[in-house]
Structure 1
Amino acid sequence: MAEWKEYKVHINREATEAVSNILVELGSAGVSVSDRNDFLSLPEYGFDTLWALDEKDFPADGVLIKGYFYGKDASEETKQALIDRIEALKQYELDVVDFLVETEDVIEEEWANAWKKYYHPVSITRYMTIVPQWEEYTKKHDDEKIIFLDPGLAFGTGTHPTTQLCLQALETMIRGGEQILDVGTGSGVLTIASALLGVKTVQAYDLDDVAVKSALDNVNLNELDADIQIRPNDLLKGIDVQADIIVANILAEIILMLIPDAFKNLKPGGQFLSSGIISEKKDEVLESLKENGFEIHQVNQMGDWVAIIAIKPEED
C-alpha cells in the first residue's frame, strides 16, 4: 500500500493563504487548514457544520496547515524548500512569526478516503448550500441553490470565512446578466455561485494550473447556463475587458497589487469584491482602494477576516 508524506506547518493565522499556496506550488496533492477560530465561530453565525469537528484537532494558537506529497516530491529537499519559501515571505511585509514544519508518513488509502465521512452539506446562506459531489441532498425550498464540489484538492470548500463572506456578498451584488471576473478562482466555488445567481459570463483566472483543473472539474459537476471560461493567468495582467463585477478572494498583499488593474477592468459603476483580508490589513486595503479611485460601499467582517465591496464611480 502506497505511503505519502504529510507536511505540517504550524504558523500564525495571517500566513494561511500564502503557506497554502506554497504547498500547492511545491507539488502538494491537497491542502487542509485547522484554524481554531473557524471551529469557535461557525455556531455563532448559524451555519450547519460541514465537518464532524473535534476541538482537539485545532491548535490553541495560530493555524495548522497540512500538505501531502508522494514519491520524489516527498523529500528533505522539499521540506527545506518549504521552510525557505516561508522565510522569504517576510520580504513581502507579511507578518510571519515563529513557525514549525514537521513531516509524518501516511497511508494512501487512509488519507484519500477516510476524511470523506466527515464532509457533509453546509448551508452558507438561506439560498445557497454547498454539497460534496458524492452526497445525496434534497433541496429544503425551491429557491435554494446547490453548489456541488469535489474538495479533494482543497482549493476552497466554501467553509472558510473569507469564502462565506464572498458568497453572501455576491447574493446582494448580482442582479442577473452581468459579466464577472473571478481572480484566483481556486476551486471555482465563486464562479459556480455567480453562475447560479444569474450572471451572463464568467472569466476565471488562477496562477496555478492544478487550481484551474480543479475549478474546471467542479464547474462540470454543476448544471450552469452562464458562459464560463477558466484559464491560467497572473491576476489581471494582460487582461483588457470592462466587467460589471470583479471578485478576488486572495491574500491582502496580493489584493493590493491587483487594485489598479481591477479599477481599469471595471465599467463605471462596476463593483470590486475583495476578500481574504486579515483584519489587521483592512485599513491598508481600504486606503489603497480610495487612492486608486474606488468608493467604499460596504465592509463586512467574520471573525478576523474582512471582505470589502468597492465601486468604480460613474462617469460625470
Structure 2
Amino acid sequence: MKWSEISIHTTNEAVEPISNILHEAGASGVVIEDPEELLKEREQQFGEIYQLNPGDYPEEGVMIKAYLPLNSFIQETVDEIKEAINSLVSYDIDLGHNKVTINEVNEEEWASAWKKYYNPVKISEKFTIVPTWEDYEKVSTDELIIELDPGMAFGTGTHPTTVMCIQALEDTVKSGDRIIDVGTGSGVLSIAAALLGASGVRAYDLDEVAVKTAIENAKLNQVDSLITVKQNNLLHDVNEPADVIVANILAEIILLFVEDAYKLVKPGGLFITSGIIQQKKQTVKDALLQAGFEIVETLTMEDWVSFIAKRP
C-alpha cells in the first residue's frame, strides 16, 4: 500500500493549529521536525537523545509531516488542507514559508521511518539503551546494554519517566531480589532489573501487544528465563510478595493500586513510581503516605516526577 507524505514548512506558532487540521483530514499522527531540538541544552546528565542528524531538520522554521492513504481523492484532500492552513492568517498566525509538498511513500518505509530518530542512549551510570538495528560496542566493562525494539508498545527506554525508573532500580535492586513490573510496556524495566541481578521478575500489562513485545525483548536480551510476562490488570489477583514493585504509568493509574502495592511489597521493600506530572506530584505523594509508605527519595527530570517509597 502507498501513502502520501504531506510536508508543511511553517513556524512554531503554527504547529498546533496545522497539526489539528491534519488530524481532521484523517492523519492519525504527525511528525514535527524542529531545528531547535539540535540546539537544546539538557540539564540532566542522562536521558538526552543524541546523534540527531541536522540533515533531517529544516534550516529555519518547522517541518510538519503527516501521512494519508494514497487514493483518487488525495488531491482534493490536499487542496482542502492548504485552504484550511491559509485561513489561519485571519487569526494573525504567522505561517512562515507555508510551503506544502507531497511525496509517495511505501508502507514499509513509513512503518520504519521513525527508527532514524532512535539511537543508542546512555541513560544512567551503567545502562545504555541500544535499538536492535544499531551496532554498538561497550565503552566500559561494567556497562549494561539493553537491546530494545519497542515495536507498537510504549517504551523506547529514553523517556524521562523510564530513565528515572531505571536509575532508581540501579540504585536499589540487590542480587536475588524479586521484582514486580506493573504496566511493563516494552519490558525495558523488567530487563533492567534482571540484568541488575534480580532472581525473578513478574511483568504485567493489560495490552496484549505490550505483553508480546516484552516477551520478545526479554528473549532478545537473554533474560527470558528470569522474566514472566502476563496480561493482567495492574495487581489484581497477584498474591506473591516482592522486594521491589516498579510502575511507570500515569499518576491517575498509580492511585488505583497504591494500597495493593503496599500489601504486596515486603517490609523494608520498595515501591518505585514514575509517569507523574508535576501537577499530580502532591496527590500521588499523599496517597503513598496514606497507604503507609515512607518517601525515601523524590526524583525529577524535566516536567516529570518519580518516587522511591519504602514500606517500613
What TM-score does the superposition give when structure 2 sets the normalisation length?
Answer: 0.72
Structure 1 CA distance, aligned partners of 2:192 and 2:181? 11
Q: Superposition pairs for residues 9-48 of structure 1, below 5 Å? A: 43-47=42-46
Structure 2 CA distance, aligned partners of 1:196 and 1:181? 15
Amino acid at match of 1:163: T
Partner of 2:211: 212
Partner of 2:122: 123
Determine if contact 1:203/1:228 at 8 Å carries over to the other structure. Answer: yes
Amino acid at match of 1:224: V
Shift of residue 218, structure 1, vs aligned partner:
0.8
Q: Superposition pairs for residues 173-252 of structure 1, below 5 Å? A: 173-224=172-223, 227-252=226-251
Q: Percent identity?
A: 52
Partner of 1:166: 165
Determine if contact 2:180/2:246 at 8 Å carries over to the other structure. Answer: yes
Shift of residue 110, structure 1, vs aligned partner:
2.5
Greater mean deviation of Cα atoms: 37-46 or 201-210 = 37-46
Amino acid at match of 2:49: T
| 3-state DSSP of counterpart to 1:219 | helix
Structure 1 CA distance, aligned partners of 2:36 and 2:292? 34
Shift of residue 40, structure 1, vs aligned partner:
7.8
Q: CA RMSD in A?
A: 3.4
Cα pair distance change 1:3/1:224, threshold 3 Å: same
Shift of residue 114, structure 1, vs aligned partner:
2.7
Partner of 1:305: 304
Q: Deviations over 1:230-253 (max 9, x none)?
A: 010000011111100000000000
Shift of residue 45, structure 1, vs aligned partner:
1.6
Structure 1 CA distance, aligned partners of 2:36 and 2:298? 20
Q: Deviations over 1:147-186 (max 9, x none)?
A: 0001232511111100000011111011210000000000
Determine if contact 2:153/2:209 at 8 Å carries over to the other structure. Answer: no
Cα pair distance change 1:68/1:229, threshold 3 Å: farther
Cα pair distance change 1:150/1:52, threshold 3 Å: same
Amino acid at match of 1:259: V
Structure 1 CA distance, aligned partners of 2:33 and 2:236? 33
Partner of 1:52: 52
Q: Deviations over 1:122-155 (max 9, x none)?
A: 1011211000112111111110000000123251
Cα pair distance change 1:31/1:253, threshold 3 Å: farther
Shift of residue 34, structure 1, vs aligned partner:
9.1
| 3-state DSSP of counterpart to 1:151 | coil
Determine if contact 2:38/2:52 at 8 Å carries over to the other structure. Answer: no
What TM-score does the superposition give when structure 1 sets the normalisation length?
Answer: 0.71
Cα pair distance change 1:133/1:260, threshold 3 Å: same
Amino acid at match of 1:153: M
Does residue 1:279 correspond to 2:278, yes or no? yes
Shift of residue 115, structure 1, vs aligned partner:
2.8
Cα pair distance change 1:160/1:41, threshold 3 Å: farther
Cα pair distance change 1:5/1:261, threshold 3 Å: farther
Q: Superposition pairs for residues 85-124 of structure 1, below 5 Å? A: 107-124=106-123
Cα pair distance change 1:4/1:221, threshold 3 Å: farther
Determine if contact 1:41/1:303 at 8 Å carries over to the other structure. Answer: no
Cα pair distance change 1:40/1:137, threshold 3 Å: same
Shift of residue 308, structure 1, vs aligned partner:
0.1
Partner of 2:99: none
Structure 2 CA distance, aligned partners of 1:192 and 1:281? 28
Greater C-alpha radius of gyration: 2
Shift of residue 116, structure 1, vs aligned partner:
2.4
Does residue 1:255 correspond to 2:254, yes or no? yes
Structure 1 gaps of 5+ residues are 12-27, 71-103
Shift of residue 37, structure 1, vs aligned partner:
11
Structure 1 CA distance, aligned partners of 2:254 and 2:35? 25
Shift of residue 107, structure 1, vs aligned partner:
3.9
Q: Deviations over 1:8-32 (max 9, x none)?
A: xx99xxxxxxxxxxxxxxxx9x998
Cα pair distance change 1:254/1:142, threshold 3 Å: same
Cα pair distance change 1:143/1:37, threshold 3 Å: farther
| 3-state DSSP of counterpart to 1:153 | coil
Amino acid at match of 1:220: K
| 3-state DSSP of counterpart to 2:49 | coil
| 3-state DSSP of counterpart to 1:269 | strand
Amino acid at match of 1:137: Y
Count matched residues: 254
